[in-house]
Amino acid sequence: MALINLPDFANDLLDEFAARKTERIDTPVIQPAEPFLDIAGEDLRRRIFMTESETGASLCLRPEFTIPVCIRHIETATGTPKRYSYLGEVFRQRREGGNEFYQAGIEDLGDINIASADARAIGDATGILTRLLPGERLTVTLGDQAVFEAVVQALGLPLGWQKRLIHAFGNMGQLEALLASLVSPQFVTDLDDDVARLIAAGDEAALIAHINATMHRTGYSSNASRSPAEIARRLKDKLVLSETRLDEAAFRVLEEFLSLRVPLINASAALAGFADAAGLKLGNALSRFDGRVAALGNAGIDLASIDYRAAFGRPLDYYTGLVFEVGIQGSSAVLAGGGRFDRLLTLLGAKDRIPAVGFSLWLDRIETERAGP
Protein backbone atom coordinates (compact mmCIF):
# COMPACT_ATOMS: atom_id res chain seq x y z
CA MET A 1 0.00 0.00 0.00
CA ALA A 2 1.30 3.43 -0.93
CA LEU A 3 2.53 5.59 1.94
CA ILE A 4 2.50 8.80 -0.10
CA ASN A 5 -0.13 10.11 -2.47
CA LEU A 6 0.08 9.33 -6.16
CA PRO A 7 0.37 12.57 -8.20
CA ASP A 8 -2.84 13.76 -9.82
CA PHE A 9 -1.28 13.48 -13.29
CA ALA A 10 -0.60 9.74 -12.95
CA ASN A 11 -3.45 8.81 -15.31
CA ASP A 12 -2.07 11.17 -17.98
CA LEU A 13 1.27 9.48 -17.55
CA LEU A 14 -0.22 6.01 -17.97
CA ASP A 15 -2.02 7.21 -21.11
CA GLU A 16 1.32 8.38 -22.50
CA PHE A 17 2.88 4.98 -21.79
CA ALA A 18 -0.02 3.17 -23.47
CA ALA A 19 0.20 5.42 -26.52
CA ARG A 20 3.85 4.39 -26.85
CA LYS A 21 2.88 0.70 -26.88
CA THR A 22 4.65 -0.22 -23.66
CA GLU A 23 3.77 -3.06 -21.33
CA ARG A 24 3.12 -1.92 -17.76
CA ILE A 25 5.23 -3.88 -15.30
CA ASP A 26 5.51 -3.84 -11.51
CA THR A 27 8.22 -5.29 -9.31
CA PRO A 28 8.31 -6.07 -5.56
CA VAL A 29 9.22 -3.23 -3.21
CA ILE A 30 11.61 -5.59 -1.39
CA GLN A 31 14.46 -6.58 -3.70
CA PRO A 32 17.62 -8.70 -3.40
CA ALA A 33 20.36 -6.20 -2.57
CA GLU A 34 23.25 -7.85 -4.41
CA PRO A 35 22.54 -6.58 -7.95
CA PHE A 36 22.33 -2.97 -6.74
CA LEU A 37 25.45 -3.30 -4.59
CA ASP A 38 27.45 -4.95 -7.39
CA ILE A 39 26.26 -3.03 -10.44
CA ALA A 40 24.49 0.25 -9.71
CA GLY A 41 27.46 2.29 -8.48
CA GLU A 42 28.75 3.99 -5.36
CA ASP A 43 26.28 6.90 -5.39
CA LEU A 44 23.28 4.57 -5.20
CA ARG A 45 24.95 1.98 -2.95
CA ARG A 46 25.42 4.43 -0.09
CA ARG A 47 21.77 5.52 -0.25
CA ILE A 48 20.07 2.11 -0.21
CA PHE A 49 17.81 1.07 2.67
CA MET A 50 19.14 -2.36 3.63
CA THR A 51 17.39 -5.20 5.46
CA GLU A 52 17.66 -9.00 5.74
CA SER A 53 15.47 -12.01 5.11
CA GLU A 54 14.73 -14.60 7.80
CA THR A 55 17.63 -16.64 6.41
CA GLY A 56 20.06 -13.73 6.54
CA ALA A 57 20.00 -12.87 2.83
CA SER A 58 20.68 -9.20 2.07
CA LEU A 59 17.59 -7.36 0.87
CA CYS A 60 16.76 -3.72 0.23
CA LEU A 61 13.88 -1.38 -0.44
CA ARG A 62 13.63 -0.81 -4.19
CA PRO A 63 15.98 2.14 -4.95
CA GLU A 64 15.21 2.27 -8.70
CA PHE A 65 13.35 0.30 -11.36
CA THR A 66 15.82 -0.45 -14.16
CA ILE A 67 17.56 -3.39 -12.49
CA PRO A 68 14.30 -5.01 -11.21
CA VAL A 69 12.64 -4.62 -14.62
CA CYS A 70 15.61 -6.25 -16.34
CA ILE A 71 15.67 -9.11 -13.80
CA ARG A 72 11.93 -9.68 -14.36
CA HIS A 73 12.48 -9.72 -18.12
CA ILE A 74 15.20 -12.37 -17.78
CA GLU A 75 13.17 -14.50 -15.34
CA THR A 76 10.10 -14.55 -17.59
CA ALA A 77 12.22 -15.47 -20.64
CA THR A 78 10.37 -12.88 -22.68
CA GLY A 79 11.69 -12.25 -26.17
CA THR A 80 12.85 -8.90 -27.50
CA PRO A 81 12.37 -6.24 -28.66
CA LYS A 82 10.26 -5.34 -25.66
CA ARG A 83 9.13 -2.00 -24.25
CA TYR A 84 8.23 -1.85 -20.57
CA SER A 85 6.80 1.02 -18.54
CA TYR A 86 6.58 1.35 -14.78
CA LEU A 87 5.20 3.64 -12.10
CA GLY A 88 5.79 3.09 -8.41
CA GLU A 89 7.60 4.09 -5.25
CA VAL A 90 11.34 4.01 -4.79
CA PHE A 91 13.38 4.60 -1.65
CA ARG A 92 16.72 6.39 -1.21
CA GLN A 93 18.41 7.71 1.89
CA ARG A 94 19.46 11.34 2.24
CA ARG A 95 17.48 12.54 -0.75
CA GLU A 96 16.39 16.16 -0.95
CA GLY A 97 12.61 16.20 -1.12
CA GLY A 98 12.11 12.95 0.80
CA ASN A 99 13.45 9.41 1.03
CA GLU A 100 10.33 7.89 -0.51
CA PHE A 101 9.02 9.12 -3.85
CA TYR A 102 7.31 8.02 -7.05
CA GLN A 103 9.30 7.20 -10.17
CA ALA A 104 8.03 6.25 -13.61
CA GLY A 105 9.72 5.45 -16.87
CA ILE A 106 10.26 3.30 -19.94
CA GLU A 107 12.85 0.57 -20.56
CA ASP A 108 13.40 -0.27 -24.22
CA LEU A 109 15.04 -3.71 -24.51
CA GLY A 110 16.38 -5.51 -27.57
CA ASP A 111 16.10 -2.94 -30.36
CA ILE A 112 19.22 -3.48 -32.48
CA ASN A 113 18.81 -0.11 -34.18
CA ILE A 114 20.80 1.71 -31.50
CA ALA A 115 20.55 5.22 -32.95
CA SER A 116 16.80 4.97 -33.45
CA ALA A 117 16.19 3.60 -29.95
CA ASP A 118 18.35 6.32 -28.38
CA ALA A 119 16.44 9.01 -30.27
CA ARG A 120 13.14 7.43 -29.25
CA ALA A 121 14.13 7.50 -25.56
CA ILE A 122 14.91 11.23 -25.69
CA GLY A 123 11.79 11.88 -27.76
CA ASP A 124 9.58 9.94 -25.33
CA ALA A 125 11.02 11.69 -22.27
CA THR A 126 10.63 15.17 -23.74
CA GLY A 127 7.24 14.35 -25.26
CA ILE A 128 5.81 13.16 -21.95
CA LEU A 129 7.19 16.16 -20.07
CA THR A 130 5.74 18.51 -22.70
CA ARG A 131 2.28 17.07 -21.98
CA LEU A 132 2.71 17.22 -18.20
CA LEU A 133 4.23 20.74 -18.25
CA PRO A 134 2.53 22.57 -21.12
CA GLY A 135 4.05 25.90 -21.98
CA GLU A 136 7.37 25.20 -20.25
CA ARG A 137 10.59 25.29 -22.24
CA LEU A 138 12.52 22.06 -21.74
CA THR A 139 16.30 21.83 -21.45
CA VAL A 140 18.13 18.67 -22.50
CA THR A 141 21.73 17.82 -21.57
CA LEU A 142 23.38 14.93 -23.43
CA GLY A 143 26.65 13.06 -22.98
CA ASP A 144 28.16 9.85 -24.30
CA GLN A 145 30.18 7.50 -22.12
CA ALA A 146 31.28 5.46 -25.15
CA VAL A 147 33.04 8.49 -26.66
CA PHE A 148 34.87 9.12 -23.39
CA GLU A 149 35.90 5.45 -23.23
CA ALA A 150 37.21 5.68 -26.80
CA VAL A 151 39.32 8.74 -25.93
CA VAL A 152 40.79 7.05 -22.84
CA GLN A 153 41.56 3.87 -24.78
CA ALA A 154 43.13 5.78 -27.67
CA LEU A 155 45.59 7.41 -25.23
CA GLY A 156 47.03 3.94 -24.52
CA LEU A 157 46.78 4.03 -20.72
CA PRO A 158 47.09 0.75 -18.79
CA LEU A 159 43.77 -1.11 -18.57
CA GLY A 160 43.56 -0.51 -14.83
CA TRP A 161 43.74 3.24 -15.30
CA GLN A 162 41.23 3.10 -18.13
CA LYS A 163 38.79 1.34 -15.80
CA ARG A 164 39.36 3.89 -13.04
CA LEU A 165 38.76 6.86 -15.32
CA ILE A 166 35.72 5.31 -16.99
CA HIS A 167 34.28 4.42 -13.58
CA ALA A 168 34.61 8.10 -12.56
CA PHE A 169 32.97 9.45 -15.73
CA GLY A 170 30.30 12.01 -14.83
CA ASN A 171 31.84 12.82 -11.44
CA MET A 172 34.15 15.74 -12.26
CA GLY A 173 35.59 15.95 -8.75
CA GLN A 174 36.63 12.30 -8.77
CA LEU A 175 37.83 12.49 -12.38
CA GLU A 176 40.00 15.55 -11.69
CA ALA A 177 41.53 13.85 -8.64
CA LEU A 178 42.41 10.78 -10.72
CA LEU A 179 43.95 12.90 -13.46
CA ALA A 180 46.00 14.80 -10.89
CA SER A 181 47.34 11.52 -9.49
CA LEU A 182 48.19 10.41 -13.03
CA VAL A 183 50.17 13.58 -13.72
CA SER A 184 51.97 13.41 -10.36
CA PRO A 185 51.99 9.74 -9.29
CA GLN A 186 51.99 8.91 -5.59
CA PHE A 187 54.14 5.81 -5.37
CA VAL A 188 53.00 2.95 -3.16
CA THR A 189 54.91 3.04 0.12
CA ASP A 190 52.83 0.75 2.32
CA LEU A 191 53.94 -2.58 0.83
CA ASP A 192 55.64 -5.14 3.04
CA ASP A 193 59.39 -5.25 2.18
CA ASP A 194 59.23 -8.93 1.18
CA VAL A 195 56.17 -8.32 -1.01
CA ALA A 196 57.82 -5.33 -2.69
CA ARG A 197 60.99 -7.36 -3.34
CA LEU A 198 59.07 -10.29 -4.88
CA ILE A 199 57.00 -8.01 -7.09
CA ALA A 200 60.14 -6.20 -8.27
CA ALA A 201 61.79 -9.55 -9.03
CA GLY A 202 58.76 -10.70 -11.03
CA ASP A 203 58.65 -13.97 -9.06
CA GLU A 204 54.88 -14.56 -9.09
CA ALA A 205 55.03 -18.09 -7.66
CA ALA A 206 57.12 -16.94 -4.69
CA LEU A 207 54.82 -13.97 -4.15
CA ILE A 208 51.74 -16.19 -4.05
CA ALA A 209 53.48 -18.60 -1.66
CA HIS A 210 54.49 -15.70 0.61
CA ILE A 211 50.93 -14.33 0.69
CA ASN A 212 49.51 -17.80 1.35
CA ALA A 213 51.92 -18.36 4.26
CA THR A 214 51.09 -14.94 5.71
CA MET A 215 47.36 -15.62 5.48
CA HIS A 216 47.73 -18.93 7.31
CA ARG A 217 50.00 -17.44 9.95
CA THR A 218 47.59 -14.59 10.72
CA GLY A 219 44.46 -16.73 10.52
CA TYR A 220 43.11 -14.56 7.71
CA SER A 221 42.77 -17.41 5.21
CA SER A 222 39.68 -18.95 6.80
CA ASN A 223 37.67 -15.76 6.19
CA ALA A 224 39.32 -14.51 3.02
CA SER A 225 37.13 -13.62 0.07
CA ARG A 226 40.11 -13.62 -2.30
CA SER A 227 42.71 -16.28 -3.01
CA PRO A 228 46.47 -15.65 -2.63
CA ALA A 229 46.75 -15.53 -6.43
CA GLU A 230 44.04 -12.85 -6.65
CA ILE A 231 45.68 -10.81 -3.90
CA ALA A 232 49.05 -11.09 -5.66
CA ARG A 233 47.54 -9.88 -8.91
CA ARG A 234 45.89 -6.92 -7.19
CA LEU A 235 49.12 -5.93 -5.46
CA LYS A 236 51.01 -6.04 -8.76
CA ASP A 237 48.31 -3.99 -10.47
CA LYS A 238 48.36 -1.47 -7.63
CA LEU A 239 52.10 -1.02 -8.00
CA VAL A 240 51.95 -0.69 -11.79
CA LEU A 241 49.12 1.85 -11.60
CA SER A 242 50.94 3.88 -8.95
CA GLU A 243 53.99 4.14 -11.22
CA THR A 244 52.07 5.11 -14.37
CA ARG A 245 52.49 8.73 -15.39
CA LEU A 246 50.32 10.61 -17.88
CA ASP A 247 52.50 12.88 -19.97
CA GLU A 248 51.61 16.54 -20.31
CA ALA A 249 50.39 16.22 -23.90
CA ALA A 250 47.96 13.41 -23.08
CA PHE A 251 46.75 15.31 -20.01
CA ARG A 252 45.99 18.35 -22.16
CA VAL A 253 44.10 16.15 -24.62
CA LEU A 254 41.86 14.82 -21.84
CA GLU A 255 41.36 18.32 -20.44
CA GLU A 256 40.39 19.63 -23.86
CA PHE A 257 37.95 16.78 -24.42
CA LEU A 258 36.28 17.23 -21.03
CA SER A 259 35.86 20.96 -21.69
CA LEU A 260 33.86 20.44 -24.90
CA ARG A 261 30.36 21.88 -24.59
CA VAL A 262 28.37 22.81 -27.69
CA PRO A 263 24.80 22.62 -29.04
CA LEU A 264 24.23 19.07 -30.29
CA ILE A 265 23.83 20.35 -33.85
CA ASN A 266 27.55 21.27 -33.73
CA ALA A 267 28.78 18.33 -31.65
CA SER A 268 29.75 15.91 -34.44
CA ALA A 269 31.97 18.53 -36.09
CA ALA A 270 33.48 19.51 -32.73
CA LEU A 271 34.32 15.90 -31.85
CA ALA A 272 35.78 15.18 -35.29
CA GLY A 273 37.91 18.33 -35.07
CA PHE A 274 39.09 17.39 -31.60
CA ALA A 275 40.05 13.86 -32.69
CA ASP A 276 41.94 15.12 -35.76
CA ALA A 277 43.85 17.74 -33.78
CA ALA A 278 44.76 15.23 -31.06
CA GLY A 279 45.66 12.50 -33.53
CA LEU A 280 43.19 10.06 -31.96
CA LYS A 281 41.29 7.39 -33.86
CA LEU A 282 37.81 7.26 -32.32
CA GLY A 283 36.16 5.63 -35.36
CA ASN A 284 33.22 3.52 -34.20
CA ALA A 285 32.37 5.70 -31.21
CA LEU A 286 32.10 8.80 -33.42
CA SER A 287 30.15 6.91 -36.09
CA ARG A 288 27.58 5.79 -33.49
CA PHE A 289 27.41 9.32 -32.12
CA ASP A 290 26.80 10.75 -35.61
CA GLY A 291 24.11 8.11 -36.23
CA ARG A 292 22.28 9.14 -33.06
CA VAL A 293 22.42 12.81 -33.99
CA ALA A 294 20.98 12.00 -37.41
CA ALA A 295 18.21 9.88 -35.85
CA LEU A 296 17.28 12.69 -33.47
CA GLY A 297 17.10 15.10 -36.37
CA ASN A 298 14.94 12.67 -38.36
CA ALA A 299 12.62 12.37 -35.35
CA GLY A 300 11.97 16.11 -35.55
CA ILE A 301 13.90 17.02 -32.40
CA ASP A 302 15.55 20.46 -32.44
CA LEU A 303 19.27 19.64 -32.24
CA ALA A 304 20.18 23.23 -31.44
CA SER A 305 18.10 23.00 -28.24
CA ILE A 306 20.13 20.07 -26.83
CA ASP A 307 23.31 20.85 -24.91
CA TYR A 308 26.13 18.35 -25.59
CA ARG A 309 28.72 18.16 -22.81
CA ALA A 310 31.64 15.76 -23.26
CA ALA A 311 32.10 15.45 -19.48
CA PHE A 312 28.43 14.82 -18.71
CA GLY A 313 27.54 11.48 -17.14
CA ARG A 314 25.00 10.09 -14.70
CA PRO A 315 25.75 8.47 -11.30
CA LEU A 316 24.91 4.88 -12.21
CA ASP A 317 27.67 2.49 -13.22
CA TYR A 318 25.70 0.44 -15.71
CA TYR A 319 25.52 3.08 -18.46
CA THR A 320 27.52 2.31 -21.61
CA GLY A 321 26.76 5.04 -24.17
CA LEU A 322 24.13 7.75 -24.37
CA VAL A 323 23.31 9.55 -21.11
CA PHE A 324 20.86 12.44 -20.83
CA GLU A 325 18.83 14.56 -18.44
CA VAL A 326 15.81 16.81 -18.99
CA GLY A 327 14.69 19.84 -16.98
CA ILE A 328 12.92 23.11 -17.63
CA GLN A 329 14.47 26.48 -18.28
CA GLY A 330 15.03 28.48 -15.13
CA SER A 331 15.05 25.48 -12.80
CA SER A 332 17.92 23.28 -11.62
CA ALA A 333 15.67 20.28 -10.97
CA VAL A 334 16.30 17.17 -13.07
CA LEU A 335 12.86 15.89 -14.12
CA ALA A 336 13.92 12.98 -16.33
CA GLY A 337 17.16 11.13 -16.86
CA GLY A 338 18.34 8.03 -18.63
CA GLY A 339 20.72 6.41 -21.03
CA ARG A 340 21.97 3.26 -22.70
CA PHE A 341 22.90 0.16 -20.67
CA ASP A 342 23.88 -2.55 -23.15
CA ARG A 343 25.90 -4.64 -20.66
CA LEU A 344 23.39 -4.69 -17.83
CA LEU A 345 21.22 -7.64 -18.80
CA THR A 346 24.26 -9.86 -19.39
CA LEU A 347 25.61 -8.89 -15.96
CA LEU A 348 22.24 -9.83 -14.47
CA GLY A 349 22.33 -13.29 -16.05
CA ALA A 350 20.91 -13.01 -19.58
CA LYS A 351 22.45 -15.61 -21.88
CA ASP A 352 22.57 -13.28 -24.87
CA ARG A 353 23.61 -9.65 -25.14
CA ILE A 354 20.52 -7.44 -25.16
CA PRO A 355 20.90 -3.79 -26.19
CA ALA A 356 18.89 -1.52 -23.90
CA VAL A 357 18.05 2.12 -23.32
CA GLY A 358 15.59 3.82 -21.01
CA PHE A 359 14.73 6.77 -18.81
CA SER A 360 13.10 7.61 -15.51
CA LEU A 361 10.80 10.48 -14.51
CA TRP A 362 10.89 11.98 -10.99
CA LEU A 363 7.22 12.59 -10.26
CA ASP A 364 7.62 14.68 -7.09
CA ARG A 365 9.82 17.15 -8.94
CA ILE A 366 7.38 17.28 -11.86
CA GLU A 367 4.54 17.89 -9.38
CA THR A 368 6.48 20.79 -7.86
CA GLU A 369 7.03 22.37 -11.27
CA ARG A 370 3.34 21.93 -12.14
CA ALA A 371 2.36 23.73 -8.94
CA GLY A 372 4.46 26.75 -9.97
CA PRO A 373 6.10 29.36 -7.73
The distance of Cα 121 from the centroid of its chain, to the nearest Å, equals: 16
Predicted local distance difference test score (pLDDT) of residue 220: 62
C-alpha distance from residue 60 to each of 206, 218, 309, 349 (Å): 43, 34, 34, 20
What pLDDT tens digit does each residue of the chain (373 aa) get? 445 789 999 999 999 999 999 999 999 999 999 999 888 877 788 889 998 888 889 999 999 999 999 999 999 988 889 999 999 999 998 887 788 999 999 999 999 999 999 999 999 999 999 999 999 999 999 999 999 999 999 998 878 778 888 888 888 888 888 888 777 655 555 566 777 677 667 777 887 887 778 777 776 654 445 677 777 776 666 665 556 667 788 889 999 999 999 999 999 999 999 999 999 999 899 999 999 999 999 999 999 999 999 999 987 889 999 999 999 999 999 999 999 999 999 999 999 999 999 999 999 999 999 987 6
Note if the bond before 81 is cis, omega within 30 degrees.
yes
Predicted local distance difference test score (pLDDT) of residue 82: 96
- For domain 10-144+309-371, which CATH number applies: 3.40.830.10, 2.40.40.20, 3.40.50.720, 3.30.930.10? 3.30.930.10
156-187 burial: b if 16+ Cβ within 10 Å, else e: ebeeebeebbbebbbbeeebeebbebbeeeee
Neighbours of 28 (CB within 10 A): 11
Predicted local distance difference test score (pLDDT) of residue 244: 61
Q: How many CA atoms lie within 13 A of 240 on its CB side?
A: 13
- Detail the residues annotated as belonging to a binding site for L-histidine: 64-66, 92, 103, 107, 314, 318-319
- Detail the residues annotated as belonging to a binding site: 64-66, 92, 103, 107, 314, 318-319
Domain boundaries, the chain: 10-144+309-371, 193-243
Look up the pTM and report it: 0.83
Rounded to 10 deg, the angle between the 145-154 and 248-259 helix axes is 170
Predicted local distance difference test score (pLDDT) of residue 210: 78
